[in-house]
């Protein structure tokens, strides 16, 4: 049975103020006053952690949908993404004095209050002014939480607190919302699909500005409208959130890009964030359809000599014998291949290095994707129907620099989503190196700029190859300990380059030796990117 309680304004204030004292998301916690306050605030203000977390959740795009009508009644209906390590989206319905779907007084109360304010844009001018300024600061910070957001975040949090308690009234005794809030832990209400969706207004400053001027909600043009936000991932890049969205919606996807750009890592983490089970296949030149579909293998329980049974199996298959015939099936057992297993269990099948497979093997996926049916001809022509949730993600390298096979156009057409992968920008790549190795930021930036230049020269054919992210991380791992000593960083980086990425990038002469001229050019490049004062 759903849990219901009545919370007065005083109880809400006490719970929100005293429930949590710190949060890693909020840089001004640990008892410090807010660095920015609301217009109606006189003096310092304490940080109300759930309200500040609500601001960050909305800023990051946790609100997936927010309708302005519930059924035929006014109110706010909110669908928000799962929190980390939780399953299932949360649905909330809010129309003071009633709130459904709130299991405890936490950040979700701040979220629905924020959307209530957006729905009443002419009354909530102070809060929307603060939110507009926060969105502009968020864009200037490249949509990352850092110290430059402390003041606008704090001001928006304090304005949201005032709206929750007073709406647009002056903060005087007797002007608070006095009616008790009836709270129920589940929500069965459905929104009016014809009403406005306010979710884009929380992340898109242009859409918010248009809405405040005209009352019209325009579709967001930000890339976040076609992605999911993820936290704590190893993979860096928007492709992860996009692939999570594809997996959630069951859209088959192709991942295409240079080596070392994280395609395999992205697929693995996307399945985890979408709470889906992943089955992986590594493509190679010798792969046959049976490796995907399955086949008969000797039944070890009935075999006295497994080697003789294996030889018999090979002879029968070569002669075209039916293993379903009497007597034979007792000595052989059918084993599903990874494609068949994924279809039966509704899993995500990840085909890595897909275009290294022969075309006839890869085309086995055609029927599985288009008709969601497999016919196992060697298993008595039995049919396997795909269970709900089955989908395919393929990763591949393309281009003349790779020994790969072409992808059949009919198969490529079965993949509605194609995600292009590329190397990170130097700033993001330097941050990745720091996270993995712990080397100083100046050195990581130095190394990332060298990697970037090798790629620029590779594109103009001045180098035979470029530095992959794997090579960059290996370089960083090798220099970590020597950099802690008193040695020259330039010498350390040059020596480590000779042992990691440089031989592959420089290429080799006809005798198999590293090209000396190109090697010297790359060592000079390392020296040229040395930052001042390092």
199 and 77 fall within a common domain: yes
Please check whether residues 442 and 483 belong to one and the same domain: yes
Q: Quick one: 246 and 376 in the same domain?
A: yes
Residue with tokens 């086949």: 295
Contacts of 230 (CB under 8 A, 6+ apart): 240, 241, 244, 269, 273
Domain of residue 181, residue span: 4-225
- If DSSP codes are grouped into helix, strand and coil, which group holds residue 480? helix
For residues 325-329, give the mean pLDDT: 47
pTM score of the predicted model: 0.63
In a domain, 234, yes or no: no
Same domain for 207 and 95, yes or no, is yes
Domain stop point among 420, 440, 469: 420
Q: Are 306 and 298 in contact (CB under 8 A)?
A: yes
Has residue 231 been placed in a domain?
no
Give dist(CA 311, CA 306) in Å, integer.
Answer: 9
- pLDDT score recorded for residue 178: 74
Same domain, 452 and 311: no
Q: Which of 26-40, 75-89, 135-149, 299-313 has the lowest mean pLDDT?
A: 299-313
3-class SS of residue 411:
helix
Whole-angstrom distance, CA of residue 213 vs CA of residue 221: 18
Task: Please state the three-class secondary structure of 301-368 as a single string.
Answer: CCCCCHHHHHHHHHHHHHHCCCCCCCCCCCCEEEEECHHHHHHHHCCEEEEECHHHCCHHHHCCHHHH
Confidence of residue 285 (pLDDT cuts 50, 70, 90): confident
Of 47, 97, 49, 57, nearest in space to 78 by CA:
57
Query: Does 256 share its domain with 181?
Result: no
Pick from 327, 303, 301, 302: which is nearest to 316 by CA? Answer: 327
Q: Which residues contact 10 (CB under 8 A, 6 or more apart)?
A: none
Q: Residue 408 sits in a domain of what CATH number?
A: 3.40.50.300
The pLDDT value given to residue 33: 83
Query: Which segment of 74-83, 328-337, 507-516 scores lowest on mean pLDDT?
Result: 328-337
pLDDT at 277: 92
Residues 416 and 430 in one domain: no
Q: Give the residue among 229, 181, 176, 184 at the shortest CA–CA distance from 202.
A: 229
Residues sharing a CB contact under 8 Å with residue 74, sequence separation 6 or more, in sequence order: 68, 95
Both 85 and 169 in a single domain? yes
Average pLDDT in the chain = 84
pLDDT of residue 474: 94
CA–CA distances in Å: residue 146 to residues 57, 266, 431: 15, 25, 14
Phi-psi label, residue 143: left if phi above 0, alpha if psi -120 to 50, beta otherwise: left
Residue 306 has pLDDT above 60, yes or no: no
What pLDDT shows up at residue 321?
A: 56
Asked if residue 214 and residue 147 are part of one domain, the reply reads yes
Q: Which residues of 364-399 are buried (b: 16+ CB within 10 A; e: fewer)?
A: bbeebbeeeebebebbeeeebebeebbbbbbbbbee
- In this prediction, residue 326 has a pLDDT band, given cuts at 50, 70 and 90, of very low
Query: Would the pLDDT of 343 be above 70?
Result: yes
Q: Name the β-bridge partners of 351.
A: 281, 394
Look at residue 73 and tell me whether its pLDDT is greater than 90: no
pLDDT at 344 over 70: yes
Task: Give the integer Cα–Cα distance in Å for 211 and 118.
Answer: 9
Given a cut of 60, is residue 85 above it in pLDDT?
Answer: no
């Amino acid at each position: 049975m759903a849990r219901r309680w009545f919370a007065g304004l005083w109880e809400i204030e006490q719970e929100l103020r005293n429930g949590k004292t710190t949060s890693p998301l909020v840089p001004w916690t640990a008892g410090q006053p807010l660095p920015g306050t609301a217009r109606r605030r006189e003096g310092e203000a304490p940080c109300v952690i759930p309200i500040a977390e609500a601001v960050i959740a909305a800023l990051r795009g946790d609100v997936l949908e927010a309708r302005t009508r519930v059924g035929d009644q006014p109110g706010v209906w909110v669908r928000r993404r799962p929190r980390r390590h939780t399953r299932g989206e949360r649905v909330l319905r809010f129309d003071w004095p009633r709130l459904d779907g709130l299991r405890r007084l936490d950040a979700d109360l701040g979220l629905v209050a924020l959307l209530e304010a957006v729905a009443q844009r002419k009354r909530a001018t102070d809060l929307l002014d603060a939110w507009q300024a926060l969105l502009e600061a968020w864009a200037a910070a490249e949509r990352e939480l850092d110290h430059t957001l402390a003041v606008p975040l704090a001001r928006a949090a304090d304005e949201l607190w005032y709206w929750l308690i007073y709406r647009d009234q002056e903060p005087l005794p007797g002007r608070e919302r006095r009616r008790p809030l009836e709270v129920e832990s589940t929500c069965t209400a459905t929104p009016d699909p014809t009403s406005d969706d306010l979710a884009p207004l929380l992340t898109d400053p242009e859409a918010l500005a248009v809405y405040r001027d005209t009352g019209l909600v325009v579709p967001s043009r930000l890339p976040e409208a076609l992605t999911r936000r993820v936290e704590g991932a190893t993979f860096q890049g928007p492709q992860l959130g996009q692939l999570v969205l594809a997996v959630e919606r069951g859209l088959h996807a192709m991942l295409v890009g240079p080596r070392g750009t994280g395609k395999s890592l992205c697929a693995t983490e996307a399945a985890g964030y979408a709470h889906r089970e992943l089955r992986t296949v590594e493509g190679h030149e010798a792969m046959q359809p049976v490796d995907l579909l399955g086949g008969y293998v000797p039944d070890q329980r009935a075999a006295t000599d497994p080697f003789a049974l294996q030889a018999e199996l090979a002879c029968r298959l070569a002669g075209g014998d039916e293993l379903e015939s009497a007597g034979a099936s007792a000595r052989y057992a059918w084993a599903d291949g990874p494609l068949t297993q994924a279809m039966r269990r509704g899993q995500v099948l990840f085909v890595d290095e897909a275009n290294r497979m022969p075309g006839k093997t890869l085309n086995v996926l055609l029927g599985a994707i288009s008709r969601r049916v497999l016919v196992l001809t060697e298993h008595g022509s039995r049919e396997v129907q795909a269970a709900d949730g089955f989908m395919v993600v393929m990763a591949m390298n393309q281009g003349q620099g790779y020994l790969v096979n072409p992808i059949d156009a009919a198969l490529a057409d079965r993949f509605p989503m194609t995600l292009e992968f590329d190397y990170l920008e130097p700033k993001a790549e330097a941050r990745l190196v720091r996270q993995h190795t712990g080397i100083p930021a100046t050195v990581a930036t130095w190394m990332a700029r060298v990697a970037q230049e090798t790629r620029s020269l590779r594109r103009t054919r001045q180098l035979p190859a470029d530095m992959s992210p794997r090579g960059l991380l290996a370089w960083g791992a090798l220099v970590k300990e020597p950099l802690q000593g008193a040695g020259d960083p330039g010498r350390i980086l040059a020596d480590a380059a000779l042992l990691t990425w440089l031989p592959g990038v420089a290429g080799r002469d006809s005798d198999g030796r590293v090209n000396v001229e190109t090697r010297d050019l790359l060592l000079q490049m390392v020296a040229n990117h040395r930052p001042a004062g390092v």
